[in-house]
Amino acid sequence: MTPKHEQLVVRLSSSAAALAAAVRQVPVGRETEPPVPGEWSVQETLVHVRNVAVLVLGLRIRRLLYEGDPILADYDDGPVRQRHLQQPELLGEVLDMVMDEHKQIARLLKTLPDSEWQRAGRHPEHGSMSVEFLTRWAVEHAEEHAIQIDKTARLLRGQRGC
């Protein structure tokens, strides 16, 4: 495996760890509070991350590994996220699902030959998506939201002088 692909696999695992570190900074009992009106709470952010990791990126990567040139379904996060938020889940359980998904995908990719990283499927609106593209997206998506959760945690701690 090339160093570029090895680095993506390592980052996939560490991005989930970054999410966990950010979630640990959230003041207890404030997971469902938005940091400011109109922004996502930690709960909402993490549910979004989990849904995208499991229902979009992990599923698409698996399909690319096991199918030839699949058509990749579109995904509308809003309605799915809202349904999941109507029956709140324990934040730790949602985080565990993200971490488990990233670990499973990393295990699948760890032995993937370099030639297979360009296996691709087609999204109806966005065109070709390869294993490499989707893995990079999974990493960057988790890292971006880890930063968001960290900022939210700092704002929530500051609001009550924590």
Instruction: Output the pLDDT for position 94.
Output: 94
In this predicted structure, the answer to whether residue 161 has a pLDDT above a threshold of 50 is no
Give per-residue pLDDT as tens, 106-115.
999 999 999 9
Average pLDDT over all residues of the chain: 91
Range in 22-26, 73-77, 96-100 the model is least confident about: 73-77
In this predicted structure, the answer to whether residue 139 has a pLDDT above a threshold of 50 is yes
**42 neighbors 31 (Cβ within 8 angstroms):** yes
Cα–Cα nearest to 22, from 86, 98, 87, 88:
98
Q: Give, as one character, the DSSP assignment of residue 35.
A: S
**How far is the C-alpha of 2 from the C-alpha of 77, rounded, in Å?**
33
Distances (CA, A) of 153 to 19, 22, 31, 117, 135: 12, 7, 9, 36, 27
CATH class of 3-159: mainly alpha
Placement of tokens 């360009």 in the chain: 118
Residue 31 phi, psi dihedral angles, 5° rounding: -60, -30
Instruction: Output the pLDDT for position 162.
Output: 44
Question: Percentage of the chain with pLDDT > 90?
Answer: 81
Give the predicted TM-score (pTM) of the model: 0.90
In this predicted structure, the answer to whether residue 131 has a pLDDT above a threshold of 80 is yes
DSSP letter string, 131-146:
HHHHHHHHHHHHHHHH
Instruction: Output the pLDDT for position 7.
Output: 96
In this predicted structure, the answer to whether residue 159 has a pLDDT above a threshold of 80 is no
In this predicted structure, the answer to whether residue 154 has a pLDDT above a threshold of 50 is yes
* CA within 13 Å, CB half, 94: 22
